[in-house]
Structure 1
């Protein structure tokens, strides 16, 4: 680690008071040494990583980190803050801040060294020594581990268990990129010793029933979005807690440096499983059929002993996951929580389809809108570009964009249905889901038909998978039998039984919307505005958005459909814009972090990313959400009353040139923004508060809410 941190990269008197300022101060040191080529670009990458999950840890530690193309070589900077800086940890601000910078193509060896630092941070002796360091040089040497006192500081009672973790240049860090080989070998040898005979039919094979003469065995997997820090901290925390609890615990770290799979014998002999992860566990079916605790990676860091107790309790009660089978461990099940009702599962299935559909809507809709902008509104009557295309004619380019967009839009309903089925039954659901969705598209069953096809396909596949199949046929089930049988059933139901009634219902709804005018249209605008602002990008918001996009997902959408799309996008822009305006007008009502979030909310709101208001709503939902809904309702009503239209499904103010009556449209957005800002200022002003003081003692909204990847409103 000698080339990764030097005294020039250490600031023992870090004066920054926010996490962004701290990252900037440490990054400037990296720039001065030529380790970072673009300060703003690198800080943007750090902020993007921070948005995925706060990087504060219990014990006063902050570890902002990222992989960035602006980093020339793996680098570590360290800062010590006397006042403490809020990085989102539950127990308060951090005084030890480590900024970890890895190149976009960092090699495994360097990433392993960074991960080893993460493990050291879980050692109280190491962090205490850093707090006591008297100068930058000694702090850098302590982190590198190249002085005797550093070795003493990182020594632990369990050194014998990790003696094989000596790394390069005497750093005292592990070279392993995945599993602690020593602990895995220990468990594997224990497995072999406890086997009753060559067949391996030991009483210890049953989960939750370990032999009295051996400890309880746990296998764990840790992973985080970047795979540099939290992954290895969780592993170290779990291993330490396992030693304290007297259990055999071995961890598979699925980090950026790759991962080494646990020995199948170790997994087979385990009495329980712990998943501490924020990204999907790779090859999860290896662990099926055992008592399992599934949590986020920070739970593995902050409460490992509790997780160990929980998995032991599950083993005692005989609670196990389903054995590995086709369709087990679907994307929706990974995100689920024990005891969820069918309503919650249904919402997740539908959201799975909508989330995959949105990119097709955005790409296809914008291409079609650009085609209209370039070639005029008669471009939908142009000949296919395969028959006629003139490189020098603007109309030909407009037709090209329009026809490409039409192809993208053609996938909308099949993708919706296919990925609803995928959310229910994993990959076996894709074929019948897409088949049913395409049938819904062909018979004009529209959005409702896609929903029905996806749910039917997923249900049919799940039903087939419950049938007991002879072993000789199991190999062909997922590739032949399930696609064949499920597609036949779904096709029959969609073409013969329910497809036509759904298509008629879709047509009736479309005709009703087309006939809306005057006060009825305004009421619809109010309803859509309320839905868009109720949960700020959640399921209710997505229902309104999907309803609007389905209306324009045709070659020639009606005027009413384009008005609905305009109202939905305008209302979805209001919450972040309103909060941005409020933080500008009455700064004293908001914390320092909220004022910083307000600056970003201007851009997010203008770009139709409703989620930009989530940090404010998370901190003060009883004031922010009603204010947002009021502003959204005003904007929705005005947009419908003005008769503004929109052919593009996304883009915010950046597609103003595609909006009918653009001036009135922007006026409606401004009015809603003013209502939201004014109302939230009034509501916040009615309570006694000292946000400036609270800013240093309460976790910020931005760091106590799990940030979402921006998706259309």
Structure 2
């Protein structure tokens, strides 16, 4: 028996490959062959061929982003999230095997865990698809802007200089594309390729009229669902069907999205966006600390899941204009703390961990300093009652401290590797201290709460 699988998470960094590994291990235990195609940040790897599809018994799609299933038509499909694959790969493998054994005459099957469906459909999946395509633009643009600061905080104002060129590429190009890309691929997730044109046009209009990040999200959903409705409403003769994707759909959808953004949606969303910006700018010390605490809890609660991504997306939105952000500083500090804290715990409390966990702790430490929260997932999955609260407390403290110290960050990713860049971080020593304190709190709590290994 041969099974196939596809894994894909919004960032395409850690969850994608952890899910793939979990499925491979579960398949090996079950005595079945499996090939896993990963949709990571560098593209599709280990791609499934047409011949393998013909010879397969079933396929598992563990994804939080849009996966084109047309190539698997006629093959039984088990759908799940990457978290399901990481935490319960055995059940997914068993379900796929059972589909073949029972010879079920279906194209798709859904696995249901206790009290909840397997995959997050609808708005969450669409938003995460947009975010996954947006993140490389945000990261590349943010780091280029930060590098321009290395020549002086105002060096980019000198037209023709290297600092100006770096800032132009990062802010003028990469950041300018960020909202259109977000909007366009939200629409793509909803309506496939026809959604990209009105989605990106809506996102560009959102940038131009000041509706910003929030407007991009609204225009993406608007464009996607308008395309879906137009496909249902407009029926052309067969001889003219070729006009639908190249003329009718892009023209009508772009017109509708554009007019709605300019005359109806843009103004209130722009006001909301401005209000949010003003609220963040005017936060009093106490309120800012509470916000940092809450963001820290969110970053550590599901370590790369929807709550973590919501906090990260909020942080990215605050630097959309290419400005330093205290919110982004809190988010990145809180996202680094769980994996670093776990790594420190495996060093300080070796009797509480197996030899395999101690080795995994070294990898977790490296992932943590790189701002990859997912390094803590295996430890949280093995002992959630003790580990997750410890991670949340440490991350909450790190987030709150960055707010207390009024640290600001101009980069949306990069971990400690952006700290040496001059002017990328306002208050770099206090920022490093916040991360260290949060990580030590996590390590101490984990070390004291976990029971010794017998």
TM-score, structure 1 length as denominator? 0.53
Confirm or deny that 1:524 pairs with 2:291.
yes
* SS of aligned partner of 2:210: coil
Confirm or deny that 1:382 pairs with 2:158.
yes
Confirm or deny that 1:643 pairs with 2:435.
no
* Structure 1 residues not aligned, in runs of 5+: 1-47, 62-88, 92-120, 123-221, 227-253, 322-333, 384-388, 390-395, 693-713
Confirm or deny that 1:593 pairs with 2:361.
no
Give the equivalent residue in structure 1 for 2:328.
Answer: 565
Task: Please tell me whether the aligned partners of residues 156 and 163 of structure 2 are also in contact (alpha carbons under 8 angstroms).
Answer: no
Give the equivalent residue in structure 1 for 2:261.
Answer: 494
CA distance in 2, matches of 1:503, 1:628: 36
CA distance in 1, matches of 2:110, 2:246: 26
* SS of aligned partner of 1:294: strand
Confirm or deny that 1:575 pairs with 2:367.
no
Give the equivalent residue in structure 2 for 1:544.
Answer: 311
Equivalenced residues, count: 416
Confirm or deny that 1:628 pairs with 2:391.
yes
Task: Please tell me whether the aligned partners of residues 292 and 311 of structure 1 are also in contact (alpha carbons under 8 angstroms).
Answer: no
Confirm or deny that 1:671 pairs with 2:434.
no
Confirm or deny that 1:53 pairs with 2:16.
no
Q: Deviations over 1:483-507 (max 9, x none)?
A: 1111111111111111110000100
Q: Quick one: structure 1 residues 356 and 336, their matched pair in 2 at CA, closer, same or farther if it must change by over 3 Å? A: farther
Mapping 1:415-494, distance limit 5 Å: 415-467=181-233, 469=235, 470-494=237-261
* SS of aligned partner of 1:649: coil
Deviates more, 1:659-668 or 1:504-513: 659-668
Q: Deviations over 1:368-407 (max 9, x none)?
A: 0100112x11134332xxxxx3xxxxxx111111111011
Give the equivalent residue in structure 1 for 2:164.
Answer: 399
Q: CA deviation at 1:684?
A: 1.2
CA distance in 1, matches of 2:388, 2:35: 33
Q: Quick one: structure 1 residues 441 and 341, their matched pair in 2 at CA, closer, same or farther if it must change by over 3 Å? A: farther
Task: Please tell me whether the aligned partners of residues 296 and 335 of structure 2 are also in contact (alpha carbons under 8 angstroms).
Answer: yes
- Bigger proportion of residues as helix: 2
CA distance in 2, matches of 1:523, 1:513: 12
Q: CA deviation at 1:255?
A: 7.1
Q: CA deviation at 1:450?
A: 0.8
CA distance in 2, matches of 1:436, 1:413: 9
Task: Please tell me whether the aligned partners of residues 184 and 196 of structure 2 are also in contact (alpha carbons under 8 angstroms).
Answer: yes
Confirm or deny that 1:656 pairs with 2:419.
yes
CA distance in 2, matches of 1:418, 1:514: 29
Q: Quick one: structure 1 residues 519 and 281, their matched pair in 2 at CA, closer, same or farther if it must change by over 3 Å? A: closer
Confirm or deny that 1:413 pairs with 2:225.
no
* Structure 2 residues not aligned, in runs of 5+: 1-15, 39-44, 80-84
Q: Quick one: structure 1 residues 336 and 479, their matched pair in 2 at CA, closer, same or farther if it must change by over 3 Å? A: farther
Task: Please tell me whether the aligned partners of residues 325 and 408 of structure 2 are also in contact (alpha carbons under 8 angstroms).
Answer: yes
Give the equivalent residue in structure 2 for 1:352.
Answer: 129
* SS of aligned partner of 2:37: coil
Q: Deviations over 1:488-528 (max 9, x none)?
A: 11111111111110000100111111111311111111111
Question: RMSD across aligned C-alpha pairs, in angstroms?
Answer: 3.5
Give the equivalent residue in structure 2 for 1:605.
Answer: 368
Deviates more, 1:589-598 or 1:352-361: 589-598
Give the equivalent residue in structure 1 for 2:6.
Answer: none
Q: CA deviation at 1:592?
A: 2.1
Give the equivalent residue in structure 2 for 1:25.
Answer: none
Q: Deviations over 1:564-587 (max 9, x none)?
A: 111111111100011001111111
Task: Please tell me whether the aligned partners of residues 273 and 287 of structure 1 are also in contact (alpha carbons under 8 angstroms).
Answer: no
Q: CA deviation at 1:632?
A: 0.8
Mapping 1:130-529, distance limit 5 Å: 223-225=35-37, 259-260=50-51, 274-276=58-60, 284-285=69-70, 288=73, 292-294=76-78, 306-309=98-101, 311-312=103-104, 315=105, 344-374=121-151, 376-383=152-159, 389=160, 396-406=161-171, 407-467=173-233, 469=235, 470-529=237-296
* SS of aligned partner of 1:53: helix
* SS of aligned partner of 2:77: strand
CA distance in 1, matches of 2:430, 2:202: 41
Mapping 1:684-699, distance limit 5 Å: 684-685=450-451, 690=453
* SS of aligned partner of 2:332: helix
Higher RCO (Cα < 8 Å, 6 or more apart):
2
Q: CA deviation at 1:287?
A: 6.0
* SS of aligned partner of 1:225: strand
2:447 to 672, 677, 681: 681
Q: Deviations over 1:210-257 (max 9, x none)?
A: xxxxxxxxxxxx74238xxxxxxxxxxxxxxxxxxxxxxxxxxx9769
Give the equivalent residue in structure 1 for 2:11.
Answer: none
Task: Please tell me whether the aligned partners of residues 532 and 545 of structure 1 are also in contact (alpha carbons under 8 angstroms).
Answer: yes
